[in-house]
Structure formats: C-alpha cells, structure tokens
Amino acid sequence: MVGRASMALMVVSFLISAGAPCGLLVYFYKREKMSLIPLVTGIAVFIVFTQMLEKALHVYLLQLNPRSAQLFRNPWLFAAYGGLAAGLFEEGGRFVGFNYLLKRSRKWIDGISYGIGHGGAESFLIGGLANLQYLLFAVLINNGVLEAVLGGKLPPAPLAQLKQTLVASSPLLFLASGIERLFALAIQIALSLVVLYAVRYGRYIYLLCAVLIHALLDFPAALYQAHRFNLWGVEVFAALLAVLSVMFIIRSKALFPAEGLKPPQTEAS
C-alpha cells in the first residue's frame, strides 16, 4: 500500500508545480502589465528545443549509437554530457526566442514573462504531470489493480520496480519534487534575464555564461541519475542557486533601462 502521507504530498507537489507559475503570471500581469507574448514564446521554445530536439539527440547518443551509448555509461561523462546538452539546448532556445522571435519584446518584464513561460512549462511537464502519474499509480496499487491495468503495457520487472518505489519511498521524496520545481523556476527566470541581457546589448559572453551555469546546475542532477550523488545534495545545491537567482532577479531591473539600447554605466566606468 502507498501511504496516505505519500499520496497527500503528491497532491501538494502537483499544486506547487502547476500553481507557482500561474501565481507568478497573475502577480506580474497585474503589477507590471506583463505581456503574454514572451510567455507563450517561452513555452513554445521550451517544447521544441527540449522535448523534441534535445530528446532526439539523447535517443541517438544514449540508445541508437552503440559507441556513444557505451561511452556515456561512465557516470562522469554522462553527467557532463547531460549538463552541457541541457545548457546548449535551453539557452540556445532562449537566444533564438529573444533574437529572432521577440525583437520588440526586450524589456526586463519581457524576460520575466519568458522565464515564467519556459520555467512554467518545465515545472508542469516534469513536476506536475509526474506527480499526477504517481498519484494515479498509487490509487491503482491501493486498489490492487496495478498489474491488471498496466500488465499489458509494461514488462513485469519495471512494473514491480515502479510498485516497490512508490510503496517504499519516503513521503518527503514526493514533497521534494515540488520544492525542486520552485528552485528550478527561479533559476529559469534568472537565466532568461541573462540571455535577454546578452541579446539586447550584444554582450554574447553572457550567453556563454548562461550555458555554463545551466550545465553546472544539471551536472549533480545527472550524477544523481547515475547513482553517484545524493538526492539531498542535489536539492541543497539547487536551493543555493535559487537564492542567488532571486537576488539577481530583484536587482536586474536596473540592467534594463526603459530608454535606449545601451547597457547602464557603472560607477567605475
């Protein structure tokens, strides 16, 4: 049986994953008169660049190509590849979005809007839908019909592993998935502002910085997938980056003056 606490925290994590982006959307729409065009662009670019292009590369390199699949069995190489792939596709997608699709939407609030769209899509697809699936599987397990419903769709071994995972996992693990989405959302908004700054002022070194920051963020998560890093270590690392991201988001408004396309001058300059 899957415990009630686990199922309750699955619901909580779903509400966090789906509700946080919606809450930010409403807040900034009312407070800053935020345009929804960058938000929709962020959603579309995220789907195309991560769910289609990046996944296609993963399928080829990790499954179809035997040489690269063997190479990336090394957990450190796998983590390096995973981090760099995520950084290149997601930040490359942001660059395409701001440079080609949002030529008239390059204010600070447009970066916020794009980040909510990009990060919100990720939050819902990775956190929201995953917890809905877990909840559905938990209901099937507790009613004794998991094998009857999924037996023809999954082999016995993965089905047994799924059941064992949901039954034996600590309820806190399900809550962690929702909290992690909050951290990721803050980081995604901050990275959107970094790439917007790079595009608006032609300072493309910051695009490279965004790629490397993203790769650094995903590196320990990939090590966790390879069973070489502790989950709570991943969460603490993400929390630290999220705090820094929130600080940057708050202070970054000064980097995008309403007039002109020249970056603000510092006191040293």
Residue 267 in this model has a pLDDT that exceeds 70? no
CA 88, distance to chain mean position in Å, is: 14
Cα 202 to Cα 43: distance, rounded to the nearest angstrom: 24
pTM, two decimals, is 0.93
CA-to-CA distance for 197 and 184, rounded, in angstroms? 20
Give 50-61 pLDDT, tens digit per residue.
999 999 999 999
Residues 84-95 pLDDT 10s: 999 999 999 999
How many other CB atoms are found less than 10 A from the CB of residue 25?
Answer: 18
CA angle 79, 245, 47 (to 5 degrees): 60
- Distance, in Å, from the CA atom of 175 to the CA atom of 65, rounded to the nearest integer, reads 36
CA distances, 236 to each of 22, 29, 83, 206 (Å): 25, 31, 18, 25
Share of the chain above pLDDT 70, in %: 96
Quote the mean pLDDT of the chain: 94
Kind plus residue range of the DSSP H or E element containing 242: helix 231-251
Q: What is the DSSP letter of 234?
A: H
pLDDT tens-digit map of 9-26: 999 999 999 999 999 999
**DSSP type of residue 227:** T
Secondary structure (3-state) at 56: helix
Classify burial at 108, counting beta carbons within 10 Å of its beta carbon; exposed 0-12, middle 13-18, buried 19 or more: buried
Q: Do 159 and 133 meet the contact criterion of CB atoms below 8 Å apart?
A: no
H or E, element range at 9: helix 4-32
CB atoms under 10 Å from CB of 111, counted, come to 32
Residue from 150, 176, 174 nearest 162 by CA: 150
Residue 29 makes CB contacts below 8 A (sequence gap 6+) with 36
Condensed to tens digits (0 to 9), the pLDDT of residues 178-209 reads 999 999 999 999 999 999 999 999 999 999 99
Vertex 79: Cα angle to 76 and 80 (nearest 5): 85
